[in-house]
Amino acid sequence: MKIERTRRGARIVADDVVLSEILDHAGATHSLFDLLAAAVATLSPGPRFAMLGFAGGGMVAPLRALGCDFPVHAVDLDLGAETLFRELSDGWAGDVHLDKADAGAWLAKRRGKFDAIVEDLSVPSPVGTVKPYVSLDLLPQRIRSRLGTGGVVITNLLPLPGTSWDALYACIANPYLRAVVVHLDDYENRVMIAGDAIPDAREISKRLRTALKSIESDLLRQLRLKTLRFT
């Protein structure tokens, strides 16, 4: 993992993958983190929010720019970038709680429910940065058990060698009644939005585009949404 200083803050990179865009102000990162923040801002039914996988807190800047001032409860096994995040963001980021722990164990010990959970876990591998297997076996049900009524889970998906996209979708979407996948033209990543009460793809697309436009994010023109259906 390496840190690159930018005119607006800093960037954390591993295996040529940007793990975080840390800004020195609230605003758009013009990266995937804008989409994650927009999904929380427009689809969460309440202010109880958890982030699994923090790295440098890349989605905090767009989240705050979108007017979400609620506390952020985050967990990560590696807190190496926390000092940098605090240096650049403490003046405007608001209430951000960060714990060093395994995401599954952290969820199991938490009391109460969350309205929105972002799952942004990744691990290095010989072929680059991929999703950990825990994202496919343990976490889907563990996350489901910690969602409140009408809650939404937003998952940043990466390819996993030997596993098809459809298999990834099925594992993560299985606990929910509805799921959509967001494709981005310039990214290999895909973002799944799932829940028992989320709107249809057309309405989600409308909300995401409105939010991204409001912070002038470059991601606005890249979105394509697909409703998942399993037989």
Model pLDDT, residue 222: 87
Which amino acid type is present at position 27? G
- For 6-53, what is each residue's pLDDT tens digit? 899 998 887 777 778 899 999 999 999 999 999 999 999 999 999 999
Range of the domain at 36: 26-227
Q: Confirm whether pTM is higher than 0.85.
A: yes
**In this structure, is residue 14 part of a structural domain?**
no
**In this structure, is residue 10 part of a structural domain?**
no
- For 147-178, what is each residue's pLDDT tens digit? 999 999 999 999 888 889 999 999 999 999 99
Q: What pLDDT band is residue 231 in, cutting at 50, 70 and 90?
A: very low
**In this structure, is residue 99 part of a structural domain?**
yes
Mean pLDDT of 115-121: 97
- What CATH number did the domain enclosing 46 receive? 3.40.50.150
Look at the chain and report how many structural domains it folds into.
Answer: 1
Mean pLDDT of 86-104: 96
Residue 97 reports pLDDT greater than 90:
yes
Mean pLDDT of 88-94: 95
Q: Are 46 and 219 in contact (CB under 8 A)?
A: no
